[in-house]
């Protein structure tokens, strides 16, 4: 029986994670794999993992994370911003992997599988903070700063929030064109709603975890499930009756203490 499986935050730059990814296998020859971002930071590692998995699963669907978009000092591929994202989309095209730029495929004739590329705009702020500038100043003062501030460049957009705004508008338009009678699986690196970030150890980090502009998408666009990662807190939650699956593998220091087997693919359908 075919399965729609999901995982994210593979971070194959870590040797232990690379071994886990090497061991990933479909349950049947017709299984699809949804990857909700953060495969790796270096282009060579990203290509290695995507090539491996696309050769094993009937279809791979990828949504980018922030780490794929980094221009890392160790990466000989120096592309930044939109050019880097476009390069990744072309790579996926060569491997037969579905990206947010492709037509959304339909799973078994009844479920639209929609990979999204929606960034963040610093609107997930802690209570009492009312502006992006104030929120960032507080985060820097507390030493809670995402590496994106140094490595994720928005070129040619003037800022990451401007890039986010453009992606929200494009994605919202495409989702609005879907048939109203077909349920969706929405795959995005970041949670589409704020509530999953409430459990973060460092609440200020929520700034880099999404945008309030997607808060009703799971209802408006008929989602049966929302698949995401980024938080490295794998779990199932429900929002407005919609199932949200955080499917990250995460860093070895995070998954080693857990009693569950690392790298287990989450069944979505």
Exposure b/e, 163-189, CB count within 10 A at least 16 = b: bbbebbeebbebbeebeeeebbbbbbb
Residues 6+ apart with CB under 8 A from 218: 186, 192, 193, 226, 239, 240, 242, 244
* First-last CA distance in the chain: 11
The mean pLDDT value of the chain amounts to 97
Percent of the chain whose pLDDT exceeds 70: 100
Considering the entire predicted model, what is its pTM?
Answer: 0.98
Quickly count: other Cβ atoms within 10 Å of residue 6's Cβ.
25
Query: How do residues 208-238 score in pLDDT, each as one tens digit?
Result: 999 999 999 999 999 999 999 999 999 999 9
pLDDT of 223 reads 98
pLDDT digits (tens, 9 = 90+) for 118-177: 999 999 999 999 899 999 999 999 999 999 999 999 999 999 999 999 999 999 999 999
d(Cα 15, Cα 6) in Å, to the nearest integer?
A: 21
pLDDT for res 100: 98
Q: Quick one: pLDDT at residue 90?
A: 98
Distance CA 67, CA 147 (A): 9
Q: What is the model's pLDDT at position 30?
A: 97
pLDDT in tens, 185-199: 999 999 999 999 999
Mean per-residue pLDDT, 193-206: 97
Q: What is the pLDDT of residue 1?
A: 83
What is the model's pLDDT at position 12? 98
Omega before residue 105 within 30° of 0, cis: no
Please report, for residues 19, 84, 117, 264, the alpha-carbon distance to residue 153 in angstroms, rounded to integers and kept in the order given.
Answer: 30, 10, 15, 32
Average pLDDT over residues 65-83: 98
């Amino acid at each position: 029986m075919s399965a729609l499986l999901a995982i994210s935050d593979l971070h194959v730059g870590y040797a232990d994670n690379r071994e886990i990814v090497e061991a990933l296998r479909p349950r049947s020859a017709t299984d699809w794999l949804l990857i909700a971002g953060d495969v790796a930071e270096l282009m060579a590692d990203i290509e290695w993992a995507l090539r491996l998995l696309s050769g094993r699963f009937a279809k791979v669907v990828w949504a980018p994370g922030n780490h794929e978009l980094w221009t890392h000092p160790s990466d000989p591929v120096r592309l930044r911003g939109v050019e880097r994202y476009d390069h990744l989309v072309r790579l996926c095209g060569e491997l037969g992997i579905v990206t947010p730029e492709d037509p959304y495929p339909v799973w078994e004739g009844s479920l639209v599988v929609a990979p999204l590329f929606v960034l963040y705009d610093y609107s997930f702020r802690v209570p009492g903070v009312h502006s992006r500038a104030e929120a960032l100043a507080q985060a820097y003062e507390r030493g809670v700063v995402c590496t994106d501030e140094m490595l994720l460049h928005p070129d040619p957009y003037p800022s990451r929030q401007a890039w986010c705004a453009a992606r929200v508008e494009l994605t919202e338009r495409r989702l609005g064109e879907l048939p109203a009678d077909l349920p969706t699986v929405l795959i995005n690196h970041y949670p589409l709603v704020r509530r999953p970030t409430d459990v973060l150890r460092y609440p200020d980090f929520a700034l880099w975890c999404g945008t309030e502009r997607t808060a009703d998408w799971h209802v408006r666009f008929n989602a049966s499930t929302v698949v995401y990662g980024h938080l490295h807190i794998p779990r199932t939650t429900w929002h407005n009756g919609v199932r949200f699956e955080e499917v990250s593998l995460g860093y070895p220091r995070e998954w080693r203490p857990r009693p569950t087997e690392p790298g287990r693919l989450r069944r979505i359908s």
